[in-house]
Amino acid sequence: MVQNFHMPPIGFGPGSQMADAEETLEYMALPQDMRTYSPHLPEVEDAASVAPAIALLRRIAGACARAARTGATAEFDLAGLDAENRALIADTMGEGEVSVKIHGIPAVAAQESVFAGVWRLSGAGIDRIEVAPIPSLALDRAFTVRRAGQGATAPRPEGVVNAPALLAELLDKSVGYGPDAPLHVVNLTLLPHTEPDLLWLDTALGEGSVTILSRGYGNCRITATGTAHVWRVQFFNSMDTLILDTFEVTAMPEVAIAAAEDLADSAARITEVLEAME
């Protein structure tokens, strides 16, 4: 026997109830603060008084164009400029996405300008601009050991599971690394591991002398280990959540390097700023 069909009573089901007046709908925070290039035109009241800075900017633009074509790097010492000219250089350069901390004697801080591949280097007795994909000191000192790695002999606390196999892979690629060697990546995000695994790898690989922070859509922290050519590369989203954790065996992780196209673009942008100032 077919039962009579009854419509559901009105006022029941999702969306039919009155919301609590004290409750508010919470939305997940959206990504913010993506850095993009925007032209900045310094105010120049007397072009004659800042002629040395303008001439230097013109040389920097030329160096960017050469670096884009040939890969040649260039350095420009700022020690000979007076305060007004130095201020104009600083105002024009601004601060870009990449910062580099280089340990050693002297310790050096390198800040990329808003023009990719143009770096301001400062430290004891150092005040210069370098045009290069990455500051040369970052390459020279990267694997100068600050804390020696203990390798496979590092004490293994409870919970170390997969780290010894990962270390063997990294050490093999480190020993066999050459100028033509392809990039080798160990993606910890996709591999099973424990917190003791990570701590043991840090002890086994040691610590180098260069740390790089690249700020774009989120942050990327790049740290040289004490093992030649092995870098720890960690990507964080705009809410500072770790989303990708890797080791890279390479001379320098590509995310920190200004490409030839970037340098060519910087040459054009500096020229545009100069045209606006003159």
Does the residue 19 lie in any domain?
no
CATH of the domain at 264: 3.30.1370.140
Task: Give me the number of domains the chain comprises.
Answer: 2
128 and 145: one domain?
no
- Do 244 and 151 share a domain, yes or no? yes
pTM value is 0.82
- Residues 125, 149, single domain; the answer is no
- Per-residue pLDDT in tens (0 to 9) along the chain, 278 residues: 455 545 555 554 555 555 554 555 454 444 445 455 566 667 666 778 899 999 999 999 999 999 999 999 999 999 989 999 999 999 999 999 999 999 999 999 999 999 999 999 999 999 999 999 999 999 999 999 999 999 999 999 999 999 999 999 999 999 999 989 999 999 999 999 999 999 999 999 999 999 999 987 679 999 999 999 999 999 999 888 999 999 999 999 999 999 999 999 999 999 999 988 76
Domain that holds residue 235: 141-256
Decide if 171 is inside a domain: yes
Distance CA 195, CA 162 (A): 11
Nearest CA to 141 out of 203, 202, 211, 71 is that of 211
40 within a domain of the structure (yes/no): no
